Amino acid sequence: MGRIVVSEFVTLDGVIEVPGGAEKSPHGGWAFKFERGEAGDQFKYSELMTADALLLGRQTYEGFAAAWPHLTEDEFGQRMNGIPKYVVSTTLTESTWNNTTVLRGDPVQEAARLKAEVGEILVAGSGRLVSALHAHGLIDEYRLMVFPIVVGGGKRLFEDPGAPVSLRLVESEPAADTLLLRYHPA
């Protein structure tokens, strides 16, 4: 049985929406205002290198597919482009990024199937997908890079969890301006 690991950039007020700002949101671009340092770079590098596949929602996939194919100079970019990728979407008709499989079924059922078949599955961004996976108890680990900013609005990691969410901290580490946190479900 595999594991589903969620990786998010998050603000102090819990916002995960448009950390890079490419989506033209009034709240976007906040992640580039801070340094994450060597520890933050290693955190992101390690999680990608140990993952067996990426699972993405359509919007995150489209953003990644527009950027990453052009970023192949280093090992990180090569891994992003080479790793098997799965995108859950009812509207996407074909993949434009190499090594991508479009999953058209129910996102929760597709993720559960992948979890049974694949080793470590990394979910980056993909807020709606993460909410659905969380609601069905499919997430094994949350990896959060917390940025020291309050943006006041935007999509949050836990929009409406329906009940209190208890997590168990398994690791914390400062990384320049950010804080790296790893949680498991309690």
Scanning 68-106, the segments in alpha helix (DSSP H) are 75-82
User: Is residue 26's pLDDT more than 80?
Assistant: no
pLDDT of 51 above 90: yes
Helix and strand element counts for the chain (H, E): 5, 8
pLDDT in tens, 109-119: 999 999 999 99
Confidence band of 23 (pLDDT split at 50, 70, 90): low
- pLDDT per position as a tens digit, 122-178: 999 999 999 999 989 999 999 999 999 999 888 889 877 677 888 999 999 999 999
| Partners of 173 in beta bridges | 180
- Decide: pTM greater than 0.85: yes
- Cβ proximity of 171 and 32 under 8 Å: no
**In this model, does residue 19 exceed pLDDT 90?**
no
Domains and CATH numbers, the chain: 3-185 (3.40.430.10)
- Residue 120 predicted with pLDDT over 80: yes
